[in-house]
A and B are shown apart, each in its own frame.
Chain A
Amino acid sequence: MLEIRGLDVAYGDYQVLWDVSIDVAAGEIVAILGPNGSGKSTVLKAIIGLCRARSGTIRFEGNDLARLAVHDRAGIGIAMVMERRRLFPAMTVRENVLLGAYPAAVRHDAEARLGWVEGLFPILRERGAQPAGRLSGGEQQMVAIARGLMAKPRLLLMDEPYLGLAPKVVLQINDIIRRINAEGIAVVFNEQNVNLSFALAHRGYLLESGRLMLGGTGQEMLHSDVVRRVYLGE
Protein backbone atom coordinates (compact mmCIF):
# COMPACT_ATOMS: atom_id res chain seq x y z
CA MET A 1 0.00 0.00 0.00
CA LEU A 2 2.95 2.29 0.65
CA GLU A 3 5.78 2.37 -1.85
CA ILE A 4 8.82 4.59 -1.37
CA ARG A 5 11.34 4.67 -4.20
CA GLY A 6 14.71 6.40 -4.26
CA LEU A 7 13.86 8.97 -1.59
CA ASP A 8 16.37 11.79 -1.07
CA VAL A 9 15.68 14.38 1.62
CA ALA A 10 17.83 17.36 2.58
CA TYR A 11 17.53 20.19 5.07
CA GLY A 12 19.13 23.05 3.20
CA ASP A 13 22.54 21.81 2.09
CA TYR A 14 22.53 18.98 4.59
CA GLN A 15 21.31 15.75 3.07
CA VAL A 16 19.79 13.30 5.55
CA LEU A 17 18.34 10.55 3.35
CA TRP A 18 20.01 8.97 0.33
CA ASP A 19 18.09 6.77 -2.10
CA VAL A 20 15.79 5.10 0.41
CA SER A 21 13.22 2.58 -0.85
CA ILE A 22 10.67 1.01 1.47
CA ASP A 23 7.49 -1.01 0.98
CA VAL A 24 4.65 -1.54 3.38
CA ALA A 25 1.82 -3.95 2.63
CA ALA A 26 -1.72 -3.49 3.94
CA GLY A 27 -2.12 -4.73 7.49
CA GLU A 28 1.61 -4.96 8.19
CA ILE A 29 3.59 -3.69 11.15
CA VAL A 30 6.94 -2.37 9.93
CA ALA A 31 9.77 -1.06 12.07
CA ILE A 32 12.34 1.43 10.84
CA LEU A 33 15.50 0.82 12.80
CA GLY A 34 18.73 2.68 13.14
CA PRO A 35 20.98 4.55 15.52
CA ASN A 36 20.39 8.16 16.54
CA GLY A 37 20.59 10.54 13.61
CA SER A 38 20.29 7.84 10.99
CA GLY A 39 17.25 9.50 9.39
CA LYS A 40 14.49 7.24 10.75
CA SER A 41 12.28 10.16 11.74
CA THR A 42 12.84 11.87 8.42
CA VAL A 43 11.38 8.88 6.56
CA LEU A 44 8.13 9.20 8.54
CA LYS A 45 8.10 12.98 8.16
CA ALA A 46 8.52 12.65 4.41
CA ILE A 47 5.58 10.22 4.23
CA ILE A 48 3.26 12.66 6.04
CA GLY A 49 4.78 15.62 4.19
CA LEU A 50 6.45 17.51 7.03
CA CYS A 51 9.64 17.48 5.00
CA ARG A 52 9.87 17.56 1.26
CA ALA A 53 11.52 14.93 -0.88
CA ARG A 54 14.34 16.29 -3.00
CA SER A 55 13.89 13.39 -5.36
CA GLY A 56 12.21 10.01 -5.39
CA THR A 57 8.55 9.09 -5.10
CA ILE A 58 6.21 8.15 -2.30
CA ARG A 59 3.02 6.38 -3.36
CA PHE A 60 0.13 5.50 -1.11
CA GLU A 61 -2.37 3.00 -2.54
CA GLY A 62 -1.11 3.95 -5.96
CA ASN A 63 -1.40 7.73 -5.53
CA ASP A 64 1.69 9.92 -5.71
CA LEU A 65 1.82 11.94 -2.49
CA ALA A 66 4.11 14.68 -3.84
CA ARG A 67 1.20 16.90 -4.81
CA LEU A 68 -0.67 16.54 -1.54
CA ALA A 69 -0.17 19.02 1.29
CA VAL A 70 0.32 17.63 4.79
CA HIS A 71 -3.27 18.33 5.77
CA ASP A 72 -4.61 16.54 2.70
CA ARG A 73 -2.71 13.36 3.52
CA ALA A 74 -4.75 12.92 6.70
CA GLY A 75 -7.95 12.73 4.65
CA ILE A 76 -6.78 9.84 2.45
CA GLY A 77 -6.05 7.37 5.22
CA ILE A 78 -2.63 8.26 6.66
CA ALA A 79 -2.32 9.35 10.28
CA MET A 80 0.75 10.11 12.33
CA VAL A 81 1.56 9.99 16.01
CA MET A 82 4.35 12.53 16.25
CA GLU A 83 7.52 12.34 18.27
CA ARG A 84 6.92 13.53 21.83
CA ARG A 85 3.16 13.26 21.28
CA ARG A 86 2.66 16.90 20.23
CA LEU A 87 -0.80 17.25 21.75
CA PHE A 88 -2.47 20.64 21.91
CA PRO A 89 -1.65 21.25 25.59
CA ALA A 90 -4.24 23.94 26.33
CA MET A 91 -7.11 22.03 24.75
CA THR A 92 -9.01 19.29 26.52
CA VAL A 93 -8.33 15.62 25.96
CA ARG A 94 -11.69 15.31 24.23
CA GLU A 95 -10.98 18.27 21.93
CA ASN A 96 -7.60 16.79 21.06
CA VAL A 97 -9.11 13.46 20.14
CA LEU A 98 -11.95 14.95 18.12
CA LEU A 99 -9.51 17.13 16.16
CA GLY A 100 -8.11 13.89 14.77
CA ALA A 101 -11.34 13.60 12.78
CA TYR A 102 -10.95 17.06 11.24
CA PRO A 103 -10.65 16.02 7.56
CA ALA A 104 -14.00 16.31 5.80
CA ALA A 105 -13.69 12.77 4.46
CA VAL A 106 -13.75 11.22 7.95
CA ARG A 107 -15.97 13.69 9.75
CA HIS A 108 -19.37 12.07 9.26
CA ASP A 109 -18.83 8.94 11.34
CA ALA A 110 -16.56 10.52 13.95
CA GLU A 111 -19.00 9.80 16.78
CA ALA A 112 -19.02 6.08 16.05
CA ARG A 113 -15.22 5.96 15.92
CA LEU A 114 -15.00 7.93 19.13
CA GLY A 115 -16.87 5.09 20.82
CA TRP A 116 -14.38 2.54 19.51
CA VAL A 117 -11.37 4.66 20.48
CA GLU A 118 -12.76 5.25 23.95
CA GLY A 119 -13.08 1.50 24.27
CA LEU A 120 -9.38 1.14 23.50
CA PHE A 121 -8.39 3.94 25.90
CA PRO A 122 -10.66 4.21 28.94
CA ILE A 123 -8.65 7.23 30.05
CA LEU A 124 -10.34 9.31 27.34
CA ARG A 125 -13.64 9.06 29.17
CA GLU A 126 -12.15 9.48 32.63
CA ARG A 127 -10.12 12.59 31.83
CA GLY A 128 -11.83 13.92 28.73
CA ALA A 129 -12.45 17.39 30.16
CA GLN A 130 -8.89 17.97 31.38
CA PRO A 131 -6.31 19.98 29.44
CA ALA A 132 -4.09 17.53 27.59
CA GLY A 133 -0.99 19.25 28.91
CA ARG A 134 -1.70 17.98 32.42
CA LEU A 135 -1.48 14.28 31.55
CA SER A 136 1.57 12.08 32.15
CA GLY A 137 3.76 11.04 29.23
CA GLY A 138 2.15 7.62 28.92
CA GLU A 139 -1.34 9.07 29.09
CA GLN A 140 -0.41 11.65 26.47
CA GLN A 141 0.81 8.88 24.20
CA MET A 142 -2.60 7.18 24.51
CA VAL A 143 -4.35 10.44 23.57
CA ALA A 144 -1.97 10.95 20.65
CA ILE A 145 -2.69 7.47 19.31
CA ALA A 146 -6.41 8.02 19.83
CA ARG A 147 -6.18 11.28 17.91
CA GLY A 148 -4.45 9.48 15.05
CA LEU A 149 -7.07 6.73 14.97
CA MET A 150 -9.88 9.26 14.68
CA ALA A 151 -8.69 10.00 11.13
CA LYS A 152 -9.79 6.47 10.15
CA PRO A 153 -6.31 5.62 8.92
CA ARG A 154 -5.33 2.59 6.92
CA LEU A 155 -1.72 3.50 7.66
CA LEU A 156 -0.63 4.75 11.08
CA LEU A 157 2.84 6.29 11.37
CA MET A 158 4.39 6.40 14.84
CA ASP A 159 7.50 8.49 15.39
CA GLU A 160 9.47 7.16 18.39
CA PRO A 161 6.39 5.74 20.13
CA TYR A 162 8.38 4.49 23.13
CA LEU A 163 10.38 7.65 23.74
CA GLY A 164 10.47 8.58 27.41
CA LEU A 165 7.97 5.94 28.49
CA ALA A 166 8.24 3.55 31.43
CA PRO A 167 8.71 -0.17 30.54
CA LYS A 168 5.24 -0.96 31.80
CA VAL A 169 3.72 1.64 29.52
CA VAL A 170 5.75 0.30 26.58
CA LEU A 171 4.04 -3.07 27.02
CA GLN A 172 0.66 -1.33 27.14
CA ILE A 173 1.44 0.55 23.95
CA ASN A 174 2.52 -2.67 22.24
CA ASP A 175 -0.72 -4.29 23.27
CA ILE A 176 -2.68 -1.40 21.80
CA ILE A 177 -0.73 -1.38 18.56
CA ARG A 178 -1.50 -5.08 18.14
CA ARG A 179 -5.20 -4.42 18.66
CA ILE A 180 -5.10 -1.58 16.16
CA ASN A 181 -3.29 -3.79 13.69
CA ALA A 182 -5.89 -6.53 14.22
CA GLU A 183 -8.41 -4.08 12.76
CA GLY A 184 -6.41 -4.18 9.53
CA ILE A 185 -4.51 -0.92 10.04
CA ALA A 186 -0.90 -0.98 8.87
CA VAL A 187 1.58 0.51 11.35
CA VAL A 188 5.02 1.94 10.61
CA PHE A 189 7.08 3.01 13.58
CA ASN A 190 10.71 3.83 14.23
CA GLU A 191 12.79 2.79 17.15
CA GLN A 192 16.42 2.38 18.05
CA ASN A 193 16.17 -0.85 20.00
CA VAL A 194 16.08 -3.88 17.67
CA ASN A 195 14.81 -6.42 20.20
CA LEU A 196 12.07 -4.12 21.40
CA SER A 197 11.01 -3.44 17.81
CA PHE A 198 10.67 -7.07 16.80
CA ALA A 199 8.49 -7.85 19.77
CA LEU A 200 5.93 -6.10 17.62
CA ALA A 201 7.01 -5.67 14.01
CA HIS A 202 6.55 -8.20 11.23
CA ARG A 203 9.31 -6.72 9.18
CA GLY A 204 11.95 -4.07 9.56
CA TYR A 205 14.32 -1.79 7.69
CA LEU A 206 17.71 -0.69 8.95
CA LEU A 207 19.00 2.81 8.25
CA GLU A 208 22.53 4.01 8.84
CA SER A 209 23.63 7.59 8.11
CA GLY A 210 20.61 8.12 5.89
CA ARG A 211 21.15 5.02 3.73
CA LEU A 212 19.09 1.86 3.74
CA MET A 213 21.34 -1.01 4.85
CA LEU A 214 18.97 -3.93 5.13
CA GLY A 215 15.36 -5.01 5.11
CA GLY A 216 13.73 -8.22 6.24
CA THR A 217 11.73 -10.14 8.80
CA GLY A 218 12.50 -10.08 12.50
CA GLN A 219 14.33 -13.40 12.37
CA GLU A 220 16.48 -12.31 9.43
CA MET A 221 17.30 -8.98 10.98
CA LEU A 222 18.03 -10.22 14.48
CA HIS A 223 20.63 -12.61 13.10
CA SER A 224 22.09 -10.24 10.56
CA ASP A 225 25.75 -9.31 10.64
CA VAL A 226 24.91 -5.84 9.38
CA VAL A 227 22.69 -5.18 12.38
CA ARG A 228 25.46 -6.33 14.68
CA ARG A 229 28.00 -4.14 12.95
CA VAL A 230 25.79 -1.05 13.06
CA TYR A 231 24.78 -1.50 16.67
CA LEU A 232 27.76 -3.18 18.24
CA GLY A 233 30.45 -1.85 15.98
CA GLU A 234 31.70 -5.41 15.35
Chain B
Amino acid sequence: MFQPLRLNALLTAVVAALVVLGLPLLGVGSYVLHVMILIMIFAIFAVAYNLVTGYLGLKTFGHHAFFGLGAYGSALISIHLGIGAWASLWIGAALAAAFGLFIGLPILRIKSMAHVAVVTLAFAEIVRLSCSNLKGLTRGELGLWGIPAFQALHLPLVGEVVFSPANKIGYYYLAALLLGMTLLATAVILRSKIGLAILAIRDGEDAAESLGVNLTRIKLGVFAVSAFMVGVAGAFYAHYVGILTPSAAIGADLMILVIAMVLVGGLGTFAGPLVGAVLLTSSAESLRFLDQYRLLVYGGLIVLIVLFAPRGLASLRLPGRRVPERPA
Protein backbone atom coordinates (compact mmCIF):
# COMPACT_ATOMS: atom_id res chain seq x y z
CA MET B 1 0.00 0.00 0.00
CA PHE B 2 1.11 3.54 -0.60
CA GLN B 3 1.09 4.91 2.89
CA PRO B 4 1.17 8.55 3.89
CA LEU B 5 4.72 9.85 3.97
CA ARG B 6 6.15 9.16 7.36
CA LEU B 7 8.80 11.34 8.89
CA ASN B 8 11.70 8.91 8.58
CA ALA B 9 10.77 8.10 5.00
CA LEU B 10 10.79 11.80 4.26
CA LEU B 11 14.12 12.20 6.02
CA THR B 12 15.64 9.32 4.08
CA ALA B 13 14.45 10.88 0.84
CA VAL B 14 15.90 14.28 1.73
CA VAL B 15 19.25 12.80 2.77
CA ALA B 16 19.41 10.68 -0.38
CA ALA B 17 18.63 13.70 -2.54
CA LEU B 18 21.31 15.77 -0.77
CA VAL B 19 23.90 13.04 -1.22
CA VAL B 20 23.07 12.72 -4.91
CA LEU B 21 23.19 16.48 -5.46
CA GLY B 22 26.31 17.00 -3.37
CA LEU B 23 28.38 14.13 -4.73
CA PRO B 24 30.01 16.01 -7.66
CA LEU B 25 31.02 18.84 -5.30
CA LEU B 26 33.21 16.38 -3.41
CA GLY B 27 35.45 16.18 -6.44
CA VAL B 28 34.83 12.51 -7.19
CA GLY B 29 36.32 11.13 -10.37
CA SER B 30 34.68 10.93 -13.73
CA TYR B 31 34.28 7.16 -13.38
CA VAL B 32 32.17 7.47 -10.23
CA LEU B 33 29.98 10.01 -11.99
CA HIS B 34 29.64 7.63 -14.93
CA VAL B 35 28.47 4.80 -12.65
CA MET B 36 26.06 7.18 -10.93
CA ILE B 37 24.64 8.27 -14.29
CA LEU B 38 24.11 4.62 -15.29
CA ILE B 39 22.41 3.99 -11.96
CA MET B 40 20.07 6.91 -12.55
CA ILE B 41 19.22 5.79 -16.09
CA PHE B 42 18.42 2.32 -14.84
CA ALA B 43 16.53 3.77 -11.88
CA ILE B 44 14.19 5.69 -14.22
CA PHE B 45 13.63 2.52 -16.22
CA ALA B 46 13.06 0.41 -13.11
CA VAL B 47 10.69 2.93 -11.50
CA ALA B 48 8.62 3.08 -14.69
CA TYR B 49 8.59 -0.70 -15.05
CA ASN B 50 7.56 -1.08 -11.43
CA LEU B 51 4.71 1.38 -11.97
CA VAL B 52 3.17 -0.95 -14.54
CA THR B 53 4.22 -4.35 -13.22
CA GLY B 54 4.30 -3.75 -9.49
CA TYR B 55 1.44 -1.30 -9.01
CA LEU B 56 -0.80 -1.79 -12.02
CA GLY B 57 -0.29 -5.56 -11.86
CA LEU B 58 0.20 -5.78 -15.62
CA LYS B 59 3.17 -8.11 -15.97
CA THR B 60 4.93 -7.01 -19.12
CA PHE B 61 8.24 -8.33 -20.37
CA GLY B 62 8.74 -5.97 -23.28
CA HIS B 63 9.47 -2.58 -21.72
CA HIS B 64 12.94 -2.55 -23.28
CA ALA B 65 11.14 -1.80 -26.54
CA PHE B 66 10.32 1.67 -25.17
CA PHE B 67 13.92 2.23 -24.12
CA GLY B 68 15.00 1.45 -27.67
CA LEU B 69 12.23 3.54 -29.21
CA GLY B 70 13.16 6.52 -27.07
CA ALA B 71 16.85 6.05 -27.79
CA TYR B 72 16.61 5.50 -31.54
CA GLY B 73 13.75 7.98 -31.92
CA SER B 74 15.62 10.81 -30.24
CA ALA B 75 18.95 9.94 -31.89
CA LEU B 76 17.55 9.74 -35.41
CA ILE B 77 15.52 12.92 -35.03
CA SER B 78 18.49 14.89 -33.77
CA ILE B 79 20.75 13.49 -36.50
CA HIS B 80 18.45 13.80 -39.49
CA LEU B 81 16.16 16.71 -38.63
CA GLY B 82 18.79 18.83 -36.98
CA ILE B 83 16.71 19.24 -33.87
CA GLY B 84 18.78 19.58 -30.72
CA ALA B 85 18.95 16.85 -28.13
CA TRP B 86 17.02 19.00 -25.63
CA ALA B 87 13.92 18.78 -27.83
CA SER B 88 14.46 15.42 -29.49
CA LEU B 89 14.60 13.75 -26.07
CA TRP B 90 10.95 14.62 -25.49
CA ILE B 91 9.97 13.67 -29.03
CA GLY B 92 11.68 10.29 -28.60
CA ALA B 93 9.88 9.75 -25.31
CA ALA B 94 6.58 10.77 -26.91
CA LEU B 95 7.25 8.23 -29.65
CA ALA B 96 7.73 5.55 -26.99
CA ALA B 97 4.49 6.65 -25.31
CA ALA B 98 2.64 6.49 -28.63
CA PHE B 99 3.83 2.94 -29.15
CA GLY B 100 2.85 2.28 -25.55
CA LEU B 101 -0.72 3.28 -26.38
CA PHE B 102 -0.58 1.18 -29.53
CA ILE B 103 0.57 -2.03 -27.84
CA GLY B 104 -1.23 -1.25 -24.59
CA LEU B 105 -4.66 -1.52 -26.21
CA PRO B 106 -4.37 -5.18 -27.22
CA ILE B 107 -2.57 -6.35 -24.08
CA LEU B 108 -5.10 -4.69 -21.79
CA ARG B 109 -7.79 -6.80 -23.42
CA ILE B 110 -5.93 -9.97 -22.48
CA LYS B 111 -6.70 -11.57 -19.15
CA SER B 112 -4.07 -14.32 -19.28
CA MET B 113 -0.68 -13.29 -17.93
CA ALA B 114 1.12 -15.76 -20.19
CA HIS B 115 -0.41 -14.16 -23.27
CA VAL B 116 0.57 -10.69 -22.05
CA ALA B 117 4.11 -11.93 -21.49
CA VAL B 118 4.36 -13.47 -24.95
CA VAL B 119 2.83 -10.49 -26.73
CA THR B 120 5.02 -7.92 -24.98
CA LEU B 121 8.15 -9.99 -25.65
CA ALA B 122 7.17 -10.35 -29.30
CA PHE B 123 6.51 -6.62 -29.56
CA ALA B 124 9.99 -5.84 -28.24
CA GLU B 125 11.45 -8.37 -30.67
CA ILE B 126 9.64 -6.68 -33.54
CA VAL B 127 11.12 -3.32 -32.50
CA ARG B 128 14.60 -4.80 -32.13
CA LEU B 129 14.48 -6.68 -35.43
CA SER B 130 13.17 -3.61 -37.22
CA CYS B 131 15.97 -1.44 -35.87
CA SER B 132 18.40 -4.15 -36.82
CA ASN B 133 16.99 -4.64 -40.34
CA LEU B 134 16.47 -0.99 -41.30
CA LYS B 135 20.18 -0.65 -41.96
CA GLY B 136 19.76 2.36 -44.21
CA LEU B 137 18.39 4.32 -41.31
CA THR B 138 19.97 2.81 -38.20
CA ARG B 139 23.07 1.06 -39.59
CA GLY B 140 21.82 -2.08 -37.83
CA GLU B 141 24.23 -3.90 -35.58
CA LEU B 142 27.13 -1.86 -36.99
CA GLY B 143 25.91 0.81 -34.63
CA LEU B 144 24.38 4.24 -35.01
CA TRP B 145 27.05 6.73 -34.11
CA GLY B 146 27.48 10.45 -34.30
CA ILE B 147 24.54 11.10 -32.02
CA PRO B 148 24.84 14.73 -30.94
CA ALA B 149 25.35 15.51 -27.28
CA PHE B 150 23.20 18.03 -25.43
CA GLN B 151 24.11 21.60 -26.34
CA ALA B 152 25.88 23.60 -23.70
CA LEU B 153 23.68 25.68 -21.41
CA HIS B 154 24.19 29.12 -19.97
CA LEU B 155 22.66 29.13 -16.54
CA PRO B 156 22.46 32.14 -14.26
CA LEU B 157 24.76 31.83 -11.22
CA VAL B 158 26.30 28.57 -12.51
CA GLY B 159 27.66 29.82 -15.80
CA GLU B 160 28.21 27.55 -18.77
CA VAL B 161 27.29 23.87 -18.41
CA VAL B 162 28.88 21.64 -21.02
CA PHE B 163 27.95 18.07 -21.91
CA SER B 164 30.97 16.13 -23.03
CA PRO B 165 32.60 12.77 -22.29
CA ALA B 166 35.35 14.63 -20.51
CA ASN B 167 33.08 16.63 -18.24
CA LYS B 168 30.22 14.50 -16.95
CA ILE B 169 28.87 16.91 -14.34
CA GLY B 170 26.28 18.30 -16.72
CA TYR B 171 25.02 14.83 -17.63
CA TYR B 172 25.03 13.94 -13.97
CA TYR B 173 22.71 16.75 -12.92
CA LEU B 174 20.50 16.27 -15.96
CA ALA B 175 20.10 12.56 -15.11
CA ALA B 176 19.35 13.49 -11.51
CA LEU B 177 16.76 16.00 -12.70
CA LEU B 178 15.09 13.44 -14.98
CA LEU B 179 15.08 10.83 -12.21
CA GLY B 180 13.64 13.39 -9.80
CA MET B 181 10.89 14.24 -12.27
CA THR B 182 10.14 10.54 -12.77
CA LEU B 183 9.88 9.95 -9.02
CA LEU B 184 7.74 13.04 -8.58
CA ALA B 185 5.41 12.00 -11.38
CA THR B 186 5.14 8.49 -9.94
CA ALA B 187 4.39 9.83 -6.47
CA VAL B 188 1.79 12.24 -7.84
CA ILE B 189 0.11 9.45 -9.80
CA LEU B 190 0.07 7.08 -6.83
CA ARG B 191 -1.27 9.69 -4.42
CA SER B 192 -3.99 10.89 -6.76
CA LYS B 193 -7.43 9.42 -7.21
CA ILE B 194 -5.95 7.45 -10.07
CA GLY B 195 -3.46 5.94 -7.63
CA LEU B 196 -6.30 4.72 -5.46
CA ALA B 197 -7.87 3.15 -8.50
CA ILE B 198 -4.55 1.55 -9.46
CA LEU B 199 -4.22 -0.06 -6.06
CA ALA B 200 -7.82 -1.18 -6.27
CA ILE B 201 -7.06 -2.74 -9.64
CA ARG B 202 -4.14 -4.63 -8.16
CA ASP B 203 -6.19 -5.93 -5.27
CA GLY B 204 -9.03 -7.08 -7.48
CA GLU B 205 -10.79 -5.73 -10.50
CA ASP B 206 -14.20 -5.98 -8.86
CA ALA B 207 -13.21 -3.61 -6.11
CA ALA B 208 -12.04 -1.13 -8.72
CA GLU B 209 -15.20 -1.49 -10.78
CA SER B 210 -17.17 -0.55 -7.71
CA LEU B 211 -15.23 2.71 -7.45
CA GLY B 212 -16.87 3.61 -10.71
CA VAL B 213 -13.65 4.32 -12.55
CA ASN B 214 -12.90 3.59 -16.17
CA LEU B 215 -10.33 0.89 -15.67
CA THR B 216 -9.20 0.50 -19.24
CA ARG B 217 -8.58 4.20 -19.71
CA ILE B 218 -6.62 4.48 -16.46
CA LYS B 219 -4.55 1.40 -17.20
CA LEU B 220 -3.83 2.57 -20.72
CA GLY B 221 -2.88 6.02 -19.48
CA VAL B 222 -0.53 4.70 -16.82
CA PHE B 223 0.98 2.28 -19.33
CA ALA B 224 1.68 5.16 -21.73
CA VAL B 225 3.16 7.29 -18.94
CA SER B 226 5.43 4.40 -18.02
CA ALA B 227 6.46 3.97 -21.66
CA PHE B 228 7.18 7.71 -21.78
CA MET B 229 9.44 7.52 -18.73
CA VAL B 230 11.36 4.57 -20.15
CA GLY B 231 11.58 6.48 -23.44
CA VAL B 232 13.14 9.44 -21.59
CA ALA B 233 15.71 7.09 -20.05
CA GLY B 234 16.47 5.62 -23.48
CA ALA B 235 16.78 9.02 -25.16
CA PHE B 236 19.05 10.35 -22.45
CA TYR B 237 21.16 7.20 -22.76
CA ALA B 238 21.46 7.71 -26.53
CA HIS B 239 22.80 11.25 -26.21
CA TYR B 240 24.98 10.28 -23.27
CA VAL B 241 26.83 7.32 -24.80
CA GLY B 242 26.64 8.64 -28.37
CA ILE B 243 26.34 5.24 -30.04
CA LEU B 244 23.47 2.75 -30.27
CA THR B 245 23.17 -0.86 -31.35
CA PRO B 246 19.88 -2.76 -31.35
CA SER B 247 21.26 -5.49 -29.11
CA ALA B 248 22.50 -3.00 -26.51
CA ALA B 249 19.53 -0.60 -26.58
CA ILE B 250 16.67 -3.07 -27.20
CA GLY B 251 18.21 -6.37 -26.14
CA ALA B 252 16.37 -8.73 -23.83
CA ASP B 253 19.38 -8.51 -21.48
CA LEU B 254 18.33 -4.97 -20.66
CA MET B 255 14.84 -6.08 -19.64
CA ILE B 256 16.23 -8.94 -17.59
CA LEU B 257 18.55 -6.57 -15.77
CA VAL B 258 15.68 -4.22 -14.92
CA ILE B 259 13.44 -7.10 -13.83
CA ALA B 260 16.25 -8.27 -11.56
CA MET B 261 16.57 -4.75 -10.10
CA VAL B 262 12.86 -4.42 -9.39
CA LEU B 263 12.64 -7.90 -7.88
CA VAL B 264 15.73 -7.36 -5.72
CA GLY B 265 14.41 -4.07 -4.43
CA GLY B 266 10.85 -5.26 -4.03
CA LEU B 267 8.11 -5.36 -6.64
CA GLY B 268 5.33 -2.88 -5.98
CA THR B 269 7.26 -0.77 -3.48
CA PHE B 270 8.19 2.86 -4.03
CA ALA B 271 11.85 2.66 -3.10
CA GLY B 272 12.43 -0.89 -4.35
CA PRO B 273 13.44 -0.05 -7.93
CA LEU B 274 15.87 2.62 -6.66
CA VAL B 275 17.50 0.24 -4.22
CA GLY B 276 17.70 -2.43 -6.92
CA ALA B 277 19.22 -0.06 -9.48
CA VAL B 278 21.88 1.09 -7.01
CA LEU B 279 22.74 -2.41 -5.81
CA LEU B 280 22.87 -4.16 -9.15
CA THR B 281 24.56 -1.42 -11.18
CA SER B 282 27.23 -0.69 -8.58
CA SER B 283 27.90 -4.36 -7.89
CA ALA B 284 28.20 -5.02 -11.61
CA GLU B 285 30.74 -2.20 -11.90
CA SER B 286 32.74 -3.17 -8.84
CA LEU B 287 32.81 -6.80 -9.96
CA ARG B 288 34.11 -5.92 -13.39
CA PHE B 289 36.72 -8.70 -13.18
CA LEU B 290 33.82 -11.13 -12.95
CA ASP B 291 32.35 -9.73 -16.15
CA GLN B 292 32.00 -13.18 -17.65
CA TYR B 293 29.80 -14.26 -14.77
CA ARG B 294 27.73 -11.10 -14.57
CA LEU B 295 24.66 -12.34 -16.45
CA LEU B 296 24.93 -15.75 -14.82
CA VAL B 297 24.76 -13.99 -11.47
CA TYR B 298 21.77 -11.83 -12.55
CA GLY B 299 19.91 -14.88 -13.78
CA GLY B 300 20.66 -16.84 -10.64
CA LEU B 301 19.77 -13.81 -8.53
CA ILE B 302 16.31 -13.56 -10.10
CA VAL B 303 15.67 -17.23 -9.34
CA LEU B 304 16.88 -16.94 -5.75
CA ILE B 305 14.94 -13.75 -5.06
CA VAL B 306 11.74 -15.18 -6.48
CA LEU B 307 12.21 -18.37 -4.45
CA PHE B 308 13.34 -16.98 -1.14
CA ALA B 309 12.41 -13.30 -0.99
CA PRO B 310 9.47 -12.68 -3.31
CA ARG B 311 8.92 -9.28 -1.69
CA GLY B 312 12.47 -8.17 -2.36
CA LEU B 313 15.57 -7.84 -0.25
CA ALA B 314 13.99 -5.25 2.02
CA SER B 315 11.75 -7.95 3.41
CA LEU B 316 14.78 -10.07 4.29
CA ARG B 317 17.20 -7.51 5.60
CA LEU B 318 15.17 -6.19 8.49
CA PRO B 319 13.86 -9.18 10.37
CA GLY B 320 12.48 -6.96 13.12
CA ARG B 321 10.30 -4.90 10.82
CA ARG B 322 6.86 -6.13 10.00
CA VAL B 323 6.32 -6.56 6.31
CA PRO B 324 2.82 -5.39 5.50
CA GLU B 325 0.70 -8.32 4.39
CA ARG B 326 -1.05 -7.94 1.13
CA PRO B 327 -4.58 -9.25 1.24
CA ALA B 328 -4.85 -12.49 -0.73
Tell me, yes or no, whether A and B come into direct contact in the complex with CB atoms closer than 8 A.
yes
Interface residues of A (CB under 8 A from B): 11-13
Q: CA A12 – CA B328 in complex, angstroms? A: 8
- Name the residue on B nearest A12 (C-beta): B328
CB distance from A201 to the nearest CB of B (A): 34
Q: Name the B residues within 8 Å of A12 (CB-CB).
A: 328
Instruction: Give 3 A-B contacts (CB < 8 Å), ordered by A residue.
Output: A11-B328, A12-B328, A13-B325
CB distance from B204 to the nearest CB of A (A): 15
- Name the residue on A nearest B327 (C-beta): A12
- Name the residue on A nearest B328 (C-beta): A12
CB distance from A202 to the nearest CB of B (A): 38
Q: Name the B residues within 8 Å of A13 (CB-CB).
A: 325
- Name the residue on B nearest A11 (C-beta): B328
- Name the residue on B nearest A14 (C-beta): B328
Residues of chain B in range 304-328 having any CB-CB distance to chain A below 8 Å: 325, 328
Q: Name the A residues within 8 Å of B328 (CB-CB).
A: 11-12
Q: CA A13 – CA B328 in complex, angstroms? A: 10
Query: Shortest 3 CB-CB distances between A and B: which pairs?
Result: A12-B328, A13-B325, A11-B328
Q: Name the A residues within 8 Å of B325 (CB-CB).
A: 13
Q: Name the B residues within 8 Å of A11 (CB-CB).
A: 328
Residues of chain B in range 275-328 having any CB-CB distance to chain A below 8 Å: 325, 328
CB distance from A51 to the nearest CB of B (A): 14
CB distance from B325 to the nearest CB of A (A): 8
- Name the residue on B nearest A13 (C-beta): B325
CB distance from B322 to the nearest CB of A (A): 13
Q: CA A11 – CA B325 in complex, angstroms? A: 14
Map CB proximity to A onto B16-28 as digits: 1 under 8 Å, 0 otherwise.
Answer: 0000000000000
Q: CA A11 – CA B327 in complex, angstroms? A: 11
- Name the residue on A nearest B325 (C-beta): A13
Map CB proximity to A onto B173-203 as digits: 1 under 8 Å, 0 otherwise.
Answer: 0000000000000000000000000000000
CB distance from A16 to the nearest CB of B (A): 14
CB distance from B324 to the nearest CB of A (A): 13
Q: CA A51 – CA B325 in complex, angstroms? A: 21
CB distance from B323 to the nearest CB of A (A): 14
CB distance from A15 to the nearest CB of B (A): 14
Q: CA A27 – CA B325 in complex, angstroms? A: 46
Q: CA A12 – CA B326 in complex, angstroms? A: 11
CB distance from B163 to the nearest CB of A (A): 53
Q: CA A31 – CA B60 in complex, angstroms? A: 49
Q: CA A117 – CA B328 in complex, angstroms? A: 41
CB distance from B263 to the nearest CB of A (A): 23
Q: CA A79 – CA B200 in complex, angstroms? A: 40
CB distance from B196 to the nearest CB of A (A): 24
Q: CA A13 – CA B327 in complex, angstroms? A: 9
CB distance from B159 to the nearest CB of A (A): 60
CB distance from A101 to the nearest CB of B (A): 34
CB distance from A175 to the nearest CB of B (A): 41
CB distance from A10 to the nearest CB of B (A): 12
Q: CA A13 – CA B325 in complex, angstroms? A: 10
CB distance from B235 to the nearest CB of A (A): 45
Q: CA A12 – CA B325 in complex, angstroms? A: 10
CB distance from A60 to the nearest CB of B (A): 30
Q: CA A13 – CA B324 in complex, angstroms? A: 13
Q: CA A68 – CA B50 in complex, angstroms? A: 41
CB distance from A9 to the nearest CB of B (A): 15
CB distance from A189 to the nearest CB of B (A): 29
Q: CA A27 – CA B202 in complex, angstroms? A: 49
Q: CA A11 – CA B328 in complex, angstroms? A: 10
CB distance from A122 to the nearest CB of B (A): 40
Q: CA A13 – CA B326 in complex, angstroms? A: 11
Residues of chain B in range 209-229 having any CB-CB distance to chain A below 8 Å: none
CB distance from B327 to the nearest CB of A (A): 8
CB distance from A167 to the nearest CB of B (A): 34
Residues of chain B in range 43-85 having any CB-CB distance to chain A below 8 Å: none
CB distance from A228 to the nearest CB of B (A): 36
Map CB proximity to A onto B121-143 as digits: 1 under 8 Å, 0 otherwise.
Answer: 00000000000000000000000
